Structure 1
Amino acid sequence: MVHRNGPLSRAELTRRSGLNRSTVGALVSALTERNLVRETEPAVDGRVGRPSPIVQANAGVAVIAVNPDIDALTVGVVGLGGHVHARVRRETQGVPSLEDAVGLTRQIVAGLQPTLAGLDRVLGAGIALPGLVTAVTGRVLVAPHLGWRDVGLTGPFADALGLPVVAANDASLGSLAESIFGAALGVDDAVYLNGSASGIGGGIVTGGAQLVGSRGYGGELGHTLVSPGGRACHCGRAGCLDAEVRLERLLGAAGLDGGGIEALERVLSDGPPEAVRAEADRQLELLAVALTNVVNIFDPELIVLGGFLGPLVDFRGDRLATTVNAGSLAGRVIVRRAALGPELLLVGAAELAFQPLLASPA
């Protein structure tokens, strides 16, 4: 509760859990002894009676989060409560191999030693990968844009870092992070799409639970068909959302070769030229086709768009939402930009790595 909801009083923990005060007190004491939570005295508010102590997760208990992509590798240190202690993004010369990504991660983590030394404990590492990862074995089925196929992922990283490592699809972890800490907080039925240099992935939360599929591959919304006979997709088909809605095409329309999401943000917010507006409108039209299908299949209350899709929401979000609601059967879905920004996938990867601790703190 305090990890996901922030500092709470003992009285509020008692109310939310349905346990009695003495049980909550014993649990808080046990977690305090393990240095997983800390208690502070609340501010005096003038009310009668002794105020209830405030319990908060210890952000000094942390994990390492890693997000490899085709143009860069990002490493973060994330503490309990979703607190990001550090974030380092290193651009790569070309698409990194698995060995390159492992080696660069090791280098970045070595440079983060001053931050790590100030923590109470580092539990492990989580990887947010733009590809299909088998949850049980930690193997990559395919990360097409990276060119990684049928290789062990978690083992090499564990050997390099000396920590237990878990991994999952980046967009699925983004949806998890947004549902816990971000734009989908408190929403039981939401769909999340993330756009990165690698392409578009998705995640689905239905009935308050994340849809993962039988092998952990659920949510590959980037392979929704939006333009039959369109551009060739790496999956072997043509006209997938992942092939038609691309960051590099938006940047190319602005005469830019790289610069990432930050560059797109600047272009779209500063009176973009006609070529950029035309490409953005084309991509938004195709994105609306995919989102209309998503609404008809999953009936979400909310659609959250992250990565380079976020600036498109700011650019023409109202029109996108209107088109999707007009084309779907039920309508009335909200389209919103992701709230966690560049830290999104790191927070999602960290949440995955925190799961064993949250399930069994002892």
Structure 2
Amino acid sequence: MRKIDLTSFNVATSETARNINRRIVLDLIRTRQPVSRADLARLSGLQRSTISVITDQLVKEQWIAEGAFGHLPRGRKPRFLHLNVERTGIIGINVRPSETNVALADLNARFIFQESFPTAANSNDFIEELIEHISALIKSHPQVFFEGIGVSVPGRVDLKSKRLVFAPNLGWRDVDFKTPLENATNLPVEIENAANACALAEIWFERRGEGISDLVAVTISEGIGTGIIANGQLLRGANGVAGEFGHVSIIENGELCKCGNR
């Protein structure tokens, strides 16, 4: 049974309920688009009046857009809703020892722009160059509302501080990507282990109806990484290295790894 911390909690308010309902509706539109308001009410279990309020607000904020009308034998024709992919963009950064990929994607995960550059050996030099590439990307797409930046790294990430703890194939330790990137762009930044990011993407973009709740994603490049999803949740482990079988000792006195173990 999960332990409940009675010393740290927040009281649910009407605003909490509104935010939860909003997220439910937005996620249904993402996975079911194009979808009508009536279908949203049926799928979510929310009242049609609640659906109308939420969708009208999402249209006003340009998160979603109204598309074609549906056809019914009688009565009012439903209007289908879909994500407004032309409005919002997300910047993705994939850091690898040899090169770093920078991409701009819309809400349907379609790439609008991609580029790559050699990864500098020094982490400070790398961050400076990365900021230059991101700034140029933002400047060259003035019509896009940038929602945030996601950075995948080949190493262990501290969940609380969002710092890169150690990347063996890069030789970097205790690197803060989040603070300098957020200061330079005024955008929220999320840092994640590359294999974990891959596993999360598989769950997020699963095909409708598959209902995947358990999977193992194995990434192979300069190193081997593993992301594990169990019961729909990312499994991190006590030290944030769950599934890293690339660091399992096989030969007792084998070659010395950059992490310090054999």
CA–CA distance in structure 2, aligned partners of residues 214 and 52 of structure 1: 50
How has the CA–CA distance of structure 1 residues 150 and 112 changed in structure 2, closer, same or farther, with 3 Å as cutoff?
closer
Q: Secondary structure at the match of 1:193?
A: strand
Give the conservation status (yes or no) of the 8 Å contact 1:4–1:180: no
Q: Which one of 70, 73, 79 corresponds to residue 53 of structure 1?
A: 79
Aligned to 1:158: 182
Are positions 1:70 and 2:70 aligned together?
Answer: no
The aligned runs of 1:310-325 (5 Å cut-off) are none
Amino acid at match of 2:198: G
How has the CA–CA distance of structure 1 residues 220 and 7 changed in structure 2, closer, same or farther, with 3 Å as cutoff?
farther
How has the CA–CA distance of structure 1 residues 187 and 122 changed in structure 2, closer, same or farther, with 3 Å as cutoff?
same
Matched residues, percent identical? Answer: 30
Amino acid at match of 2:199: S
How has the CA–CA distance of structure 1 residues 5 and 143 changed in structure 2, closer, same or farther, with 3 Å as cutoff?
farther
Give the conservation status (yes or no) of the 8 Å contact 2:154–2:194: yes
Aligned to 1:179: 203
Q: Secondary structure at the match of 1:149?
A: strand
Q: Gaps spanning 5+ residues in structure 1: where?
A: 239-362
Amino acid at match of 1:27: I
How has the CA–CA distance of structure 1 residues 5 and 161 changed in structure 2, closer, same or farther, with 3 Å as cutoff?
same
Aligned to 1:8: 35
Q: Which one of 156, 166, 190 corresponds to residue 215 of structure 2?
A: 190
Q: Which one of 237, 244, 250 corresponds to residue 220 of structure 1?
A: 244
Q: Secondary structure at the match of 2:97?
A: coil
Amino acid at match of 1:195: I
Give the conservation status (yes or no) of the 8 Å contact 1:128–1:170: yes
TM-score by length of 2: 0.77
Q: Secondary structure at the match of 1:65?
A: strand
Amino acid at match of 2:105: V
How has the CA–CA distance of structure 1 residues 115 and 9 changed in structure 2, closer, same or farther, with 3 Å as cutoff?
farther
CA–CA distance in structure 2, aligned partners of residues 117 and 6 of structure 1: 27
Aligned to 1:271: none
Aligned to 2:106: 79
> What do the CA deviations read for 1:28-68 (whole angstroms, capped 9, x no partner)?
11111222111212354x64443422222222222222111
Give the conservation status (yes or no) of the 8 Å contact 1:4–1:81: no
Aligned to 1:99: 124
State the superposition RMSD in angstroms: 2.6
- Higher share of residues assigned helix: 1
CA–CA distance in structure 1, aligned partners of residues 140 and 237 of structure 2: 37
Q: Secondary structure at the match of 2:124?
A: helix
CA–CA distance in structure 1, aligned partners of residues 106 and 219 of structure 2: 23
Q: Secondary structure at the match of 2:69?
A: coil
CA–CA distance in structure 2, aligned partners of residues 55 and 214 of structure 1: 42
Give the conservation status (yes or no) of the 8 Å contact 1:6–1:81: no
CA–CA distance in structure 2, aligned partners of residues 101 and 8 of structure 1: 44
CA–CA distance in structure 2, aligned partners of residues 236 and 114 of structure 1: 42
Amino acid at match of 1:103: E
CA–CA distance in structure 1, aligned partners of residues 134 and 244 of structure 2: 31
Q: CA offset at residue 8 of structure 1?
A: 2.5
Q: Gaps spanning 5+ residues in structure 2: where?
A: 1-26
Give the conservation status (yes or no) of the 8 Å contact 1:201–1:222: yes
How has the CA–CA distance of structure 1 residues 234 and 115 changed in structure 2, closer, same or farther, with 3 Å as cutoff?
same
Q: CA offset at residue 203 of structure 1?
A: 1.0
Give the conservation status (yes or no) of the 8 Å contact 1:65–1:75: yes
Are positions 1:200 and 2:224 aligned together?
Answer: yes
Aligned to 1:109: 134
> What do the CA deviations read for 1:112-131 (whole angstroms, capped 9, x no partner)?
24652121x21221211111
CA–CA distance in structure 2, aligned partners of residues 209 and 222 of structure 1: 22
Are positions 1:42 and 2:66 aligned together?
Answer: no
TM-score by length of 1: 0.58
